[in-house]
Amino acid sequence: MHAQVPQFIDIEDKIVGPFTLKQFGYLAGGSIAIGIMYTVFQFYIVIILGLPIIFLSLALAFYKINGRPFIFYLMSFFNFGLKQHIYIWEKPLEEYDIFIQQKTTEKQPLIFERITEFAQTSLKKAGWSLNVFGKKTVIPQTEISEQEEKYNESPQTRV
């Protein structure tokens, strides 16, 4: 079974003579506006105010830009002029309530406290040897290694 596919669906029907319904409406609206102005105002005012109305109604009826009717560009022009222009480059950060539960731990001696103990004992020994011998002497390696072993055996904690 063969079905007929509709063609030329983007073409509007000609209803009033050679004009579509939209074209006829734009031309009729412009004609009525000029007719009302002719009855209210004097002739030279009608000519001055009527020319823009004539050009607008002709543009709305027949003028197309890039295949689109002039009414789309006219509506875009007015929408752009009347709306607020807010440019947002970043989304605002939403605020959240964050609760951090703090852990309670026993206070352990810190690494730098142990290092200062080691340094103080070494300084005392070095100072004693300077006072006793009267000149700079070297502390024997065995004494230093005992202090280092004591330091290395104790548990270390990092903060």
Task: Looking at the structure, tell me whether residues 78 and 115 fall in a common domain.
Answer: no
Identify the pLDDT of residue 110. Answer: 58
Within-domain flag for 116:
yes
Within-domain flag for 97:
no
Task: Looking at the structure, tell me whether residues 56 and 116 fall in a common domain.
Answer: no
Q: What is the mean pLDDT of each run of 10 residues along the chain (159 residues)?
A: 80 82 93 95 93 95 91 93 79 70 66 64 61 54 58 57
Identify the pLDDT of residue 57. Answer: 96
Task: Looking at the structure, tell me whether residues 28 and 75 fall in a common domain.
Answer: yes
Within-domain flag for 95:
no
Within-domain flag for 138:
yes
| Domain edge (last residue) among 82, 101, 125 | 82
- 64 in helix, strand or coil? strand
Cβ(28)–Cβ(57) below 8 Å: no
C-alpha 42/C-alpha 54 separation (Å) is 17
Within-domain flag for 128:
yes
Within-domain flag for 89:
no
Within-domain flag for 7:
no
C-alpha 79/C-alpha 63 separation (Å) is 20
Of the candidates 114, 121, 127, 110, which has an alpha carbon nearest to the alpha carbon of residue 144? Answer: 121
Task: Looking at the structure, tell me whether residues 118 and 77 fall in a common domain.
Answer: no
Structure tokens at 72: 């789309």
Beta pairing class for 64-65 and 19-20: unpaired
Within-domain flag for 34:
yes
Name the pTM for this structure: 0.48
Q: Quote the number of domains for the chain.
A: 2
Identify the pLDDT of residue 54. Answer: 95
**Range(s) of the domain holding residue 129:** 111-153
- 94-110 burial by CB neighbour count: b if 16+ within 10 A, else e? eeeeeeeeeeeeeeeee
Task: Looking at the structure, tell me whether residues 72 and 18 fall in a common domain.
Answer: yes
Quick one: 57 exposed, middle or buried, by C-beta within 10 A (0-12, 13-18, 19+)?
buried
Identify the pLDDT of residue 155. Answer: 58
C-alpha 52/C-alpha 81 separation (Å) is 20
Task: Looking at the structure, tell me whether residues 24 and 76 fall in a common domain.
Answer: yes
Cβ(51)–Cβ(39) below 8 Å: no
